[in-house]
Copies of this chain bind each other. A is one copy, B any other.
């Protein structure tokens, strides 16, 4: 007896069968639509890049523990992209001379991280990236926040289901230095502590704060700062606030798009000022859906030209969990709109002619590959979600007609071949 290989996909990766793929394509289609309507232009890049660009930029955790690397037959050390930003930075740097900045770009790559699979985490995920490159204006921040709202609305979310929380790392630095009394050396560790703030209990955090060298009073003050919300701004020096795009947004008529939250820092190293995260507010799925931020020197490892940018990456796993939590996932589409059934094999060519006409008007149309009795074909068409069938019989056909039948009402009528598309479209519109 032969030994069969397992049919499960590689751990942490997924097979998408047609019903699930249909749901995904509908959701992604809405998101692409919104991005295109905002004037974002789609780009794409290779799955593999030199491993070095991630080791330099994506942070130690990714490079050391999560990167899939390989050596090609020409001894080049490559990695499967864990994220799209280094690739787009490379592309932007390589084409900076011919691009008219600012540019709005988006992409939808699959990305790879070696992680222990768990809710919200897989090894291969699909991530929509949207970025503006080449502008430092706070209008970019406003557009990003607007875009986030419109993207989520396009898949059915309402404003009460999510919250956009934003911070400016420079505001937080100032607060940590001026109000909490952190030293410059302590700042990176305190940022990291803030990043974990909502994940641990108070005692654990206090222990970690002590390790960093914060006094009890400082730890208390840190808690006050992180919980202060907008009131924190009153305590910060004017020049720091004036330099902040986020403060400008909060003072504008777009302030309602975002909640200022000093606790948001984002782990990734390359963000330099604005950072934001979109949270599901449902108690069942109270977590970050996706986030992004601004980087002052995107492509520093490729070029001396300083290119600023702001953008976000929206992963499919947390998005689909969000839609499921709120009952927003669309139903899979039917497999076809209409099936053309010849009553005998010799009418197969006639059925194909009819199908061609129907397809020409945009109808998703199939014909049976293995013809069975009419009753069985009708049941099969119904199961495939078709709402209409066209039956091709010998006498009908010889007189230039076909029979159009509704699978819902079982009513049917003879129509001239020319009128079949209109008759089917009418049934589908009912």
Contacts and interface: CB of A to CB of B under 8 A. Distances in A.
Interface of A: 2, 4-11, 13-18, 21-22, 25, 34, 36-39, 41-50, 52-53, 56, 65, 68-70, 72-74, 76, 78, 80, 90-91, 93-95, 100, 102, 104-105, 110, 112, 114, 124, 132, 135, 137, 139-140, 142-143, 146, 150, 252-254, 300-304, 335-336, 348-349, 352, 356, 359, 362-370, 380, 383-384
A21 B46 contact: no
A300 B7 CA distance: 12
5 contacts: A18-B41, A39-B336, A39-B364, A41-B335, A102-B369
A137 B370 contact: yes
Contacts of A132: 369
B42 A25 contact: yes
A68 B79 CA distance: 11
A349 B143 CA distance: 11
B13 A48 contact: yes
Contacts of A300: 2
Contacts of A143: 367, 369
A47 B124 contact: yes
Contact of A364 (B37, B43, B359, B383): B37
A2 to B, nearest CB: 8
A179 to B, nearest CB: 32
A259 to B, nearest CB: 19
A15 B370 contact: no
A7 B302 contact: yes
A50 B15 contact: no
Contacts of A140: 369
